[in-house]
Amino acid sequence: MMRLLLSALVGGVVLGSGPVLAQERREERQERREERKEARKPVMGTYESYRDGVLVLKVDGKPVEYKVGPDIKTTVWAETGDPRENVFARESFRDLKAGTPVQITWGEGDRVGSVIIGTPRKRP
């Protein structure tokens, strides 16, 4: 009788702790995923082309495609050093020359948050 109660007690502790450990592991994995998403670095490259919502940048010498919708707002740095902000992507990529520096920052998930075209000029 004592063995039966003791084995039931030990079995309950072993089986009861399994779901608790599994839940802790799930929470740890979820936290790591969120950290990776937050830590995603901006992409720097040079402009190659933009067609049908696909932006092609040359990153580290290799062409890479990114989906950038035509309604994404961009910041365009003019040669005078003044930024034009909230310009739609379809307008800002229209007359852009190949080789112009472009930076993509990420929003929620894997979506493009913003695009910065050109570099600010240092004023004397």
Query: CA 50: distance to chain centroid?
Result: 20
Indicate the pLDDT class of residue 122, thresholds 50, 70 and 90.
low
pLDDT at 103 over 70: yes
Alpha-carbon distance of 14 to 66, in angstroms, equals 49
Q: What is the pLDDT of residue 94?
A: 82
pLDDT mean over 68-96: 80
Cβ neighbours, 10 Å, residue 10: 10
- What pTM did the predictor assign? 0.60
Q: What is the pLDDT of residue 18?
A: 62
Of 43 and 19, the structure prediction assigns the larger pLDDT to 43
CB within 8 A of 37, min separation 6: which ones? 109
Residue 122, φ and ψ in degrees, nearest 5: -80, 130
Alpha-carbon distance of 7 to 13, in angstroms, equals 10
Two tokens at 36? Answer: 């990776």
CB within 8 A of 79, min separation 6: which ones? 121
pLDDT at 123 over 60: no
pLDDT mean over 67-79: 81
